[in-house]
């Protein structure tokens, strides 16, 4: 693993870098990071513990129980960590740390590509085995990864909340998960840009064109 890639990854935890955006391309996750004020506070040990629980798909109540703290305290730590990391939703948090979610260590195969003097794109491979979901279920998964709730998904798809809930229940059963957090954690470890068996639709994520234009090939 290149030292610059590892250093930028550590920067997420020590407060020296922050996530700008992320996308999946060619079976890789790509994270655009930006240097921030060197005096910015790092994640505390407790915040790291809460983030670790969240990336494993745990809810705040369960995280609090495992750490022996109040749920309100766990929520405060999670909110603080997300602000420091530059993520807006728990889905983004899970996607950020999914491949290293056992310890928050850098994921295997991590590489770095310079984007600008104060920016770096981190790249690491995702799992590529096909998820046996229908086209509709995959589209719903994309909404879930975007952090949308059932009501917003229903509005976008022109369906009732009950229909969306039933479809999500079907996804849970097929993928053997028991919660939205577990589902997000599982999905975040997979490449969503591959064409699944059976001709189902692909799920792709692309960065803003301005971000892509600045990225240079790694040495």
Q: Categorize the per-residue pLDDT at 87 as very low, low, confident or very high, splitting at 50, 70 and 90.
A: confident
Domains held by the chain: number: 2
185 contacts 91 by C-beta, under 8 angstroms: no
Residue 13: give its domain's CATH number. 1.10.10.10
* Distance from C-alpha of 20 to C-alpha of 126, rounded to nearest angstrom: 20
Q: Is residue 48 part of a domain?
A: yes
- Specify the pLDDT at position 200: 36
Query: What integer is the mean pLDDT of 188-208?
Result: 46
* Strand order across the beta sheet in which 28-35 lies: 17-25, 28-35, 119-125, 111-116
- Whether 120 and 140 share a structural domain: no
Task: Give mean pLDDT, residues 52-66.
Answer: 90
* Angle at 78 (CA atoms; ends 80, 166), nearest 5 degrees: 140
Pairing of strands 111-116, 119-125: antiparallel
- Say if residue 57 is in the same domain as residue 39: yes
DSSP 3-state percent helix, strand, coil across the chain (nearest 5): 50, 15, 35
Residues 34 and 81 in one domain: yes
User: What are the angstrom distances between the C-alpha of 142 and each of 127, 146, 161?
Assistant: 16, 6, 17
CB atoms within 10 A of CB 159: 16
* Domain contains 81: yes
98 confidence band (pLDDT: 50, 70, 90): low
- Rank 48-52, 53-57, 85-89, 121-125 by mean pLDDT and report only the highest: 48-52
- CB distance 216 to 114 below 8 Å: yes
Q: Is 199 left (phi over 0), alpha (psi -120 to 50) or beta?
A: left
Is residue 202 in some structural domain? Answer: no
| 148 plus 107 within the same structural domain | no
Angle in degrees, CA 169, 175, 176, rounded to 5: 80
How many angstroms from the chain centroid is the CA of residue 76?
20
The answer to which of 34-43, 92-101, 168-177 has the lowest mean pLDDT is 92-101
Assess contact for 29 and 124: CB atoms under 8 A.
yes
Assign 100 a pLDDT band (cuts: 50, 70, 90): low
195 located within any domain: no
Asked whether residue 55 falls in the same domain as residue 152, the answer is: no
pLDDT of residue 95: 77
In a domain, 60, yes or no: yes
Give the span between the Cα atoms of 90 and 149, in whole angstroms: 12
* Domain-embedded: residue 210: no
Mean pLDDT along residues 76-104: 81
**Structural domain harbouring 160:** 135-188
Span 153-165, pLDDT tens digits: 999 999 999 999 9
102 plus 42 within the same structural domain: yes
* Mean pLDDT of the 3-9 span: 83
Q: Are residues 56 and 162 both part of a single domain?
A: no
- pTM of the model as a whole: 0.69
Of 121, 120, 124, nearest in space to 99 by CA: 124
- Please provide the size of the chain in residues: 219
Residue 103 maps to a domain: yes
């Amino acid at each position: 693993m290149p030292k610059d890639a590892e250093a930028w990854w550590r920067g997420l935890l020590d407060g020296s870098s922050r996530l700008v955006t992320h996308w999946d391309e060619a079976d890789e996750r790509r994270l655009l990071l930006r240097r921030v004020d060197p005096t910015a506070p790092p994640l505390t040990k407790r915040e790291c513990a809460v983030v670790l629980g969240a990336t494993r798909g745990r809810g705040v109540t369960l995280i609090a129980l495992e750490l022996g703290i109040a749920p309100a305290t766990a929520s405060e730590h999670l909110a603080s960590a997300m602000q420091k990391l530059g993520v807006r939703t728990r889905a983004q948090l899970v996607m950020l740390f999914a491949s290293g979610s056992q310890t928050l260590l850098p994921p295997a195969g991590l590489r770095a590509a310079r984007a600008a003097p104060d920016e770096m794109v981190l790249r690491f491979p995702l799992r590529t085995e096909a998820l046996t979901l229908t086209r509709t279920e995959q589209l719903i998964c994309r909404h879930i990864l975007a952090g949308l709730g059932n009501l917003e998904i229903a509005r976008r798809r022109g369906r009732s909340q009950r229909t969306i809930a039933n479809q999500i229940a079907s996804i849970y059963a097929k993928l053997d998960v028991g919660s939205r957090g577990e589902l997000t954690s599982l999905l975040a470890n997979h490449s969503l840009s591959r064409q699944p068996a059976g001709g189902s639709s692909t799920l792709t994520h692309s960065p803003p064109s301005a971000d892509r234009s600045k990225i240079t090939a790694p040495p």
